[in-house]
Amino acid sequence: MLQTTGISAARSVTSSRRSAGFAFRYVLAGLFCLPSIGVVNAQGTATEAERRGIDASRRQQEREQEQRLRLQNAPEVRLQPTAALSPRLPREESPCFRIEVIELIGPATDIGTTAVPSAELPPGWSTWLLDALDAGTPHGAVGQPLVARPDADSPLHQRSGICLGGRGIAIVQQRAQAALLARGYITSRALVEAQNLSSGRLRLRIIPGRIQALRLESPAPGPRPTAESELPPLLASASPARPGDVLNLRDLEQTLENLKRVPTAEADIRIEPGATPATSNWVVRHQQGFPLRLTLSADDSGSPGTGVYQGSATVSWDAPLGLNDLFYATQNQDLGGGEDGSRGTRGQSLHYSLPWGYWSLGLTHSNNRYYQSVVGLNQTYVYSGTSANTELRLSRVLVRTAVGKTSASLKAFQRRSNNYIDDTEVQIQRRVVGGWEAGLAHKTVLGGASLDSSLSYKVGTGDFGSLPAPEEASGTGTSRFGLTLAELSLLVPLNWPYLPQARYSALLRWQHNLTPLTPQDRFAIGGRYT
């Protein structure tokens, strides 16, 4: 599959205390290939050894980021319930009853003559259900006002003198049921029971459908109710839902995504009736293939100075602890190409990640080394350098809907680098930077297309053994930086008959700093992945 990468422009201001960077990238896979335009920003006072080290480090970080996205590409699961469009309430219906208030009541054995307080419903249900009835468009579902205009201006549950007959009451019930489905409560029900309407009050009973048990599929027939403490570890880590919770389609989607996050696993969930009314069981079918995978790759993403051709070998271990977790180790090195003389790159990286319901924890560590012979005026020098990056990332899905999800993350990081000339360290260029990054991300899926956006703030705090940056003496950089980062990406499959895998991808990145930046933190474009 061929990719076309174009880069528009970049702007960088390094002499002031504020700078901004901007880049736009588009990819049209399956068409043709254009060369990329590169802009390299390096501090004018940096030595040749450090400049080469910065370039090698950036290239390696870009390769690691691309590899991480490829190896941790969890599937998107979207399950859409079907809700029929409810018609308008009839203007005139006979016989009918004048209804002044529609009241939502929770599950009970008997209505009697006294309304059951709506507090028996899960928190917040009364509010959004009544809002959905008033709006006629429950949470994105296509609907119509509950009464024909101009009578629909005031809220239904506060409207006086509405005359509802059998058909009108059925439509109100359908609208409440559609609102439940739109929110993902696919086993909850809205019912109208026998009642006396002469009081002008219509009571709509809402019965939340709850989970009785979660279990793995077994040959034994019939459901096996399972207490939370007895959940298999595989399900305990994958599902945010527990027995007794209200069944929600969004929880089921998240569970399937966690079960399928490793490439060698397949899973599906079957919902069966529970042993008691308004309950159901999740029966999970999970198949784990051979958990070890070997991935070999080669490309020409290197530099002429350290080797144009780069290769890597990755060993992945799917679910090593049986918790839908992922581990992989990568060895990379140059495969030759570029300028004459002794040169090369070597590197290793380790990654482990674990999901737990809507939470996810990941740990990544990498170290790299480059070396390059450079002919000087009187002798040949060997420029070399080492770098190491460690990050611990915790994230959580905050909101999940039928078309998107919003997540928050917090990351701790440490970055180390050293440069050498003929095996002698340039100590003034020794760098250790540590800090934190907090961010928000949102993903929207529209048909086959997806739109991803993110906003984060990254700050060097002096933690994790951080050292003052060499540029702090001149005021041109600091290890206690502050960066605001934003990204917007679009992916659209083209679905061409002769190129079924063709797709269009656009990426917009923005960076703004509140402090002077060292060369490692400045905005840079021109690489294969930028």
Looking at the domain assignment, is residue 34 inside a domain? yes
* Dihedral in degrees, nearest 10, Cα atoms 319, 320, 321, 327: -80
pLDDT of residue 73: 63
Would 409 be classed as within a structural domain? yes
Distant-in-sequence, close-in-space partners of 393: CB < 8 Å, separation ≥ 6: 360, 361, 362, 363, 364, 409, 410, 411, 412
Average pLDDT in the 287-314 region? Answer: 88
Residue at 359 is within a domain: yes
pLDDT at 359: 97
Residue-level pLDDT at 88? 74
Name the pTM for this structure: 0.79
Domain contains 204? no
pLDDT digits (tens, 9 = 90+) for 55-70: 777 777 777 777 666 6
Strands (E) located in 76-137: 97-99, 101-105
CA-wise closest residue to 301 among 24, 93, 526 = 526
pLDDT of residue 84: 58
Closest CA to 487 of 449, 439, 520: 439
* Mean pLDDT of the region 375-389: 84
Give the range of the structural domain holding residue 36, as residue numbers without chain letter. Answer: 5-77+322-521
The residue type of 126 is S
Average pLDDT over every residue of 251-267: 93
- 314 domain-assigned: no
Domain membership of residue 138 (yes or no) is no
Residue 179 belongs to a domain: no
Predicted confidence (pLDDT) per residue in 75-117, tens digit: 777 777 665 556 677 777 788 888 888 888 888 644 333 333 3
**What pLDDT was estimated at residue 135?**
60
| Residue 46 clears pLDDT 50, i.e. is over it | no
Q: What is the mean pLDDT of residues 251-278?
A: 93
Q: What is the mean pLDDT of residues 448-456?
A: 93
Indicate which CATH number applies to the domain containing 459: 2.40.160
What is the arithmetic mean of pLDDT over 185-209? Answer: 91
More confident residue, 322 or 144: 322
CA 410 to centroid of chain Cα atoms = 13
pLDDT at 255 over 80: yes
H helix intervals, 83-192: 125-135, 166-182
Total domains in the chain come to: 1
